Chain A
Amino acid sequence: MIDIIIPLYNSKTIWYTLASIAYQNDTDVTVTIVDDCSSKEYDYSKILDFYRKYLDIQYIRLEKNSGPGVARQKGIEATHAPYIMFIDSDDSLGGVDVISKIRKHIIVEDKDFFIGRFVEETYNHQFYFRDNDQTWLHGKIYRRKFLERNHIHFNDTYKNEDNFFNQLLLLHAPRVGKIEDTLYVYRNNMDSLTRSNNYAYNYEGTIWYAYNISEAMREALEDGCDPKLVSILGTRCLVPLYYYYIEYYQRKDVSKLVEYGSRIYHMIDYQLVEENIIRDAFCSYIQYMLTTNYQYLLSGVSFEDFKKMLGDYHD
């Protein structure tokens, strides 16, 4: 009933991802590991032989490195259970009853997409609980039929590829269920350290963010999705894009950000978008305002200026 797909690239921690599945009180799942062409010194055969005694594990190796998106997509194609869950190879499941709780929800509720809670553990043992998140794949369960029927798929980007998948999914208006329990632990995150200090990562991430949102919108429109949903997504995303622009325009090449941002801008039908959407988006993305340290006040570039820049830009 449940497929667990784990993309893998040079992972030293896959053993605890698998341990967190093996200790479940319900282990009736199929685990599919997709090795995105890990380097030769990473030999997983010993670990896999060990865990095969306790779990049903399938291992696929890609010929060349293709990114976590493609790896997960190959995982989807190599499996067939009605529901799919993704786990990263440096994360783990939460409690001992996660699978059994998920199974109860799947059986009882007729939904295409379940959003469960996940907890982010930082390198210094701080915990952040994430409820109602719509960006990450963590703690989410997907109905295969819905993905297939609506061509929901991963692309070949390496960042925000999860955001692309989730936004494309949401634009097709799935029936969404909520699972209150903590399903997933985003572990021991050196990332949370690097994310704030390493702005090269952030900068690149923002380009891929803009690209993947514009691609999700484009495909959704081609698929005949509700243009109102597409316009709302695009409008909301202009807000963080604006803050990214303010943060980087004086020290980085922001031409790609503007190019992809303008694609988003031109796909929005402003008549379909109510005024409060922009207001709500500013409220939701308030953390960006704070991280840019009010630069936007001094930059002389208002949100309206930014939108005009996107509107004037042509490929």
Chain B
Amino acid sequence: MIDVIVVGEDKKIEKTLFSISIQTILDQIHVIVVSEEKHDYSGFQEILSIDEIVTKEKTVGGKRQIGFDKAKGEFVFFMNAGDVFFDVFALFNSHKIIQNYDVVIGGISNAEKKYSNYYLVGNLYRRSFIKRHRICFCHSDGLENGFHQLFFMAHGKINYSGDIIYYQKKEMEKDYSFYHNLIEDTKYAFDIARTRNYDSCEIAKKLYDDLLFFATFFHEKKEDYQNTLIEELKPIMKGFYDHKKSMREKDYKYISDINISNQKVDQIYFNELEKRIIL
């Protein structure tokens, strides 16, 4: 069974529900909608197994946590209200390759282009792994609420499917609040990882990976708020060198290869940024 958890106050949530109802493995899907007010989904009840949870929780992360806590299936999949599955085979494609893995990372498409995603929506997660490592959501409105970062640090086994699974009409606007929220989520994830004594090497890898991630965006668009963001990043990156000691040379190289080749980070710029943030 797969629990599909839908969160968000978008009026177009019906499109999301339609896209779930046409999945070829519909008989294995249960839908959990988490929202702030009661809706009438009786029309959908004929065709979907669906529960709605009404909550006073205002943040996206908090709602996702509520949805996750209600889930009983073997796998969970998060969606934002208004987004849809890319086609009728989306969940089937991910589900068929998840044995022996803890997540299948699915591609996301939008109206202009296709791109890969590592963050939360589009991914099919194994619920038992999440529970075992007590991976949870920051009560924020960020992209992934620290969840996938924690998953990464808990060293979940990842299968990158390469199939386009998920469709969003528009990419999230990458403005100051987007990055600010991401930094809040990152702080949350590292706090939890340190308290729970996750493997130091895994923490270092993720810190490094995130640093490269931010470097790319800062490099692409030099905005006024960059300095503010860099200040916000500093406390998180503190102690990176302590963790870094447990990273092996090949981990360092592997992560920088992925980030630098995928996102074309300028090495010189990155070195400067590293000095500014970490020192």
Which one of A15, A121, A125, A182 contacts B46 once the chains associate, using CB atoms below 8 Å? A15
Which residues in window 73-101 of B have CB below 8 A to A?
84-89, 92
CA distance A121 to B26 in the complex (A): 14
Asked if A25 and B88 make an inter-chain contact with CB atoms under 8 angstroms apart, the answer reads no
Among residues 173 to 192 in chain A, which have CB atoms less than 8 Å away from a CB atom of chain B? 182, 185, 187-188
- B14 interfacial by beta-carbon distance below 8 Å: yes
Contacts of A23 in B (CB 8 A): 15, 18-19, 22, 84
- Point out the residues of chain A lying under 8 angstroms from B47, CB to CB: 15-16, 19
B21 contacts partner chain A, Cβ-Cβ < 8 Å: yes
Contact A188 B86 (CB under 8 A): no
Interface centre among A23, A25, A187 (most CB of B within 10 A): A23
Contact A125 B88 (CB under 8 A): no
Closest A residue, CB atoms, query B166:
A96
Interface size class of B (residues with CB under 8 A): 20 to 34
Contacts A92-B88, A95-B86: A50 and B43 contacting too (C-beta < 8 A)? yes
A304 to chain B, nearest CB (A): 47
Nearest A residue to B164 by beta-carbon distance?
A95
B172 within 8 A of A: no
Distance between Cα atoms of A16 and B167 in the complex (Å): 19
* Contact A19:B84 (CB < 8 A) given known A50-B43, A54-B14: no
Tell yes or no: A225 within 8 A of B by CB. no
The answer on a CB contact under 8 Å between B21 and A95 is no
Once the chains bind, are B169 and A25 in contact (CB under 8 Å)? yes
The distance in angstroms between the C-alpha atoms of A188 and B87, with both chains bound, is 15
Contact B111 A185 (CB under 8 A): no
- The proximity string for A residues 1-26 relative to B, scoring 1 for CB distances below 8 Å and 0 otherwise, is 00000000000000110011011010
Chain A residues closer than 8 Å to B46, beta-carbon distance = 15
Q: Once the chains are docked, how many angstroms separate the CA of A303 from the CA of B43? A: 58
B24 touches A121 (CB 8 A): yes
Shortest CB-to-CB span from B107 to chain A, Å, is 12
Query: In chain B, residues 1-44, which have Cβ atoms closer than 8 Å to a Cβ of chain A?
Result: 14-15, 18-19, 21-22, 24, 43
Inter-chain contact A188/B24, CB cutoff 8 Å: yes
Q: Is A94 close to B, CB under 8 A?
A: yes
Residues A64-104 near B (CB distance < 8 A): 92, 94-97
> Closest chain A residue to B46 by CB distance?
A15
Asked if A96 and B84 sit within 8 Å, CB to CB, the answer is yes
With both beta carbons as reference points, the residue of chain A lying nearest to B48 in the complex is identified as A19
- Residues in A neighbouring B92, C-beta threshold 8 A: 125
Q: Given the complex of chains A and B, what is the CA–CA distance between A296 and B181 in angstroms? A: 72
Q: State the CA gap A54–B18 with chains docked (Å).
A: 11
- Residue pair B87, A96 in contact (C-beta under 8 Å): yes
Say yes or no: A94-B88 contact (C-beta < 8 A), given A23-B15, A25-B111: yes
A125 to B23, CA, bound (A): 12
A-B contact pairs, 14 of them (CB 8 A): A15-B21, A15-B47, A16-B22, A20-B88, A23-B19, A23-B84, A25-B84, A25-B111, A54-B14, A54-B18, A96-B87, A125-B92, A127-B89, A182-B87
Question: What 7 A-B pairs come out closest when comparing CB atoms?
Answer: A95-B87, A23-B18, A19-B18, A23-B19, A50-B43, A22-B18, A96-B167
